[in-house]
């Protein structure tokens, strides 16, 4: 529907009529009278047909109407759109240290790095979290906020997909990642804070220990779900024969379990891409917290349409007046020449 920002502007519509109806006694007479001008005026009235006068007045009337409509600030108001009415504030903390480059994961029949598998699985998880505010924290030797909490899932996915390995350093600062998450979630509703932390290693750098950060998160009512990622076995080519190694030997399962227990979350172990996908499917079962519904109606300003019409009509009025005046002057000159000759 169409609404007007300044509807009182329509009260100015009768203003030209009121000006025309003013008593002549209140109008100031010209200080200098020119008979030739009166003759020109009467001659122009004789030459102008009735249809032309009607057209002229119609142009002026439409010009004034378009100006009033433009000044009233018309706008198109769309149908109400309901904003997400439920959901959680989910922060995703993803380890991008050097060890995430280990190629021990299978994705679509090909061996890929752990980070590539995480991007695929977490990307699908993000797409499913409609109604949640999502944020992204990346950590290695340092932890930093890649994306604040937002409903824009496409941006979260894009930022995660474009993240290069090791950009935050080669080591693992789990405690700093949790501390940064607590800082970003403090201004959110107390019963609506969740951190999902994924790592493949052990905390070996940082300003805060993971347990201290977890205790702080527990005090603030933040639930932390921890995921330990990485295969238990991996074939490594040797000089004479292949040997089997455990690429996840450094994974600190005990600390990750304690972090989850302190905050009311759970720790889960993912040894393959399929197990990781299953964990994120389980996390999809988190019950959302109901909040008050919010709606808004999109608005689009329309004032430029009547304003453009007024500009075009003003050009017509000016052109019409110019033509009429020119014709009257030529007729006046011809009549004067005829009188002089006679």
The predicted model gives 89-109 an average pLDDT of 92
Q: Is the pLDDT of residue 154 over 50?
A: yes
> How far is Cα 42 from Cα 331, in angstroms, rounded to an integer?
11
31 pLDDT band, cuts 50/70/90, is: low
Topology of domain 86-295, CATH: Rossmann fold (3.40.50)
Q: Is the pLDDT of residue 328 over 80?
A: no
Please state whether beta strands 223-229 and 193-199 pair in parallel, antiparallel, or not at all (unpaired).
parallel
**Residue 281 is encoded by which pair of tokens?**
């499917």
**Residue 72 is encoded by which pair of tokens?**
């009233």
Q: Is the pLDDT of residue 215 over 80?
A: yes
56 — phi, psi (to 5°)?
-60, -50
More reliable by pLDDT, 43 or 82: 82
What DSSP character marks residue 86? E
Q: Which residue has the tokens 């959680």?
A: 88
- Identify which of 65-69, 170-174, 237-241 has the greatest average pLDDT: 170-174
Least confident of 88-102, 108-122, 128-142, 290-304: 290-304
> How far is Cα 251 from Cα 84, in angstroms, rounded to an integer?
38
The predicted model gives 7-29 an average pLDDT of 72
The predicted model gives 312-317 an average pLDDT of 82
User: Residue 87: which region, alpha, beta or left (left: phi > 0; alpha: psi -120 to 50)?
Assistant: left
The predicted model gives 259-271 an average pLDDT of 94
Answer yes or no: are the C-beta atoms of 138 and 163 closer than 8 Å. Answer: yes
Q: Is the pLDDT of residue 310 over 50?
A: yes
Please give the pLDDT value at position 25.
47
- Identify which of 32-41, 56-65, 76-85, 130-139 has the greatest average pLDDT: 130-139
Q: Which residue has the tokens 């789990």?
A: 174
What DSSP character marks residue 201? S
Least confident of 20-29, 141-150, 221-230, 300-309: 20-29
Closest residue by Cα to residue 115 from 96, 143, 133: 96
Mean pLDDT of the chain: 83
For the chain, the structural domain boundaries read 86-295, 300-342
Q: Is the pLDDT of residue 190 over 50?
A: yes
Closest residue by Cα to residue 61 from 306, 323, 313, 302: 313
> How far is Cα 270 from Cα 227, in angstroms, rounded to an integer?
7
Closest residue by Cα to residue 189 from 103, 87, 272, 331: 87
Please give the pLDDT value at position 271.
93
| pTM attached to this predicted model | 0.62
Closest residue by Cα to residue 332 from 74, 148, 340: 340
More reliable by pLDDT, 271 or 292: 271
């Amino acid at each position: 529907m169409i609404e007007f920002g300044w509807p009182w502007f329509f009260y100015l519509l009768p203003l030209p009529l009121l000006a025309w109806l003013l008593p002549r006694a209140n109008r100031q007479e010209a200080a200098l009278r020119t008979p030739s001008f009166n003759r020109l005026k009467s001659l122009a009235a004789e030459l102008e047909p009735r249809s032309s006068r009607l057209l002229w007045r119609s142009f002026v009337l439409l010009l004034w109407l378009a100006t009033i409509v433009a000044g009233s600030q018309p706008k198109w108001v769309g149908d109400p759109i309901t904003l997400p009415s439920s959901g959680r504030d989910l922060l995703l903390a993803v380890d991008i240290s050097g060890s995430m480059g280990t190629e021990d994961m299978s994705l679509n029949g090909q061996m890929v790095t752990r980070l590539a598998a995480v991007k695929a699985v977490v990307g699908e998880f993000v797409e499913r979290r409609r109604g949640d505010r999502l944020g992204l924290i990346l950590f290695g030797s340092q932890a930093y906020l890649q994306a604040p909490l937002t409903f824009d899932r496409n941006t979260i996915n894009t930022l995660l997909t474009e993240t290069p390995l090791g950009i935050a350093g080669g080591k693992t600062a789990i405690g700093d990642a949790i501390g940064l998450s607590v800082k970003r979630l403090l201004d959110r509703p107390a019963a609506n804070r969740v951190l999902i932390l994924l790592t493949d290693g052990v905390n070996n750098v940082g300003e805060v220990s993971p347990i201290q950060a977890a205790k702080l998160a527990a005090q603030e009512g933040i639930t932390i779900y921890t995921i330990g990622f990485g295969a238990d076995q991996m074939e490594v080519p040797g000089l004479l024969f292949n040997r089997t190694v455990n690429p996840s030997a450094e994974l600190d399962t005990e600390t990750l379990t304690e972090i989850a227990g302190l905050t009311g979350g759970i720790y889960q172990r993912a040894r393959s891409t399929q197990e990781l996908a299953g964990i994120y499917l389980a996390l999809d079962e988190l019950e959302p917290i109901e909040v008050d519904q919010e709606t808004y109606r999109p608005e689009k300003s329309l004032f430029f349409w009547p304003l453009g019409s007024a500009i075009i009509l003003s050009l017509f009025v000016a052109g019409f007046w110019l033509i009429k005046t020119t014709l009257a002057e030529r007729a006046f000159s011809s009549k004067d020449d005829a009188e002089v000759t006679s």
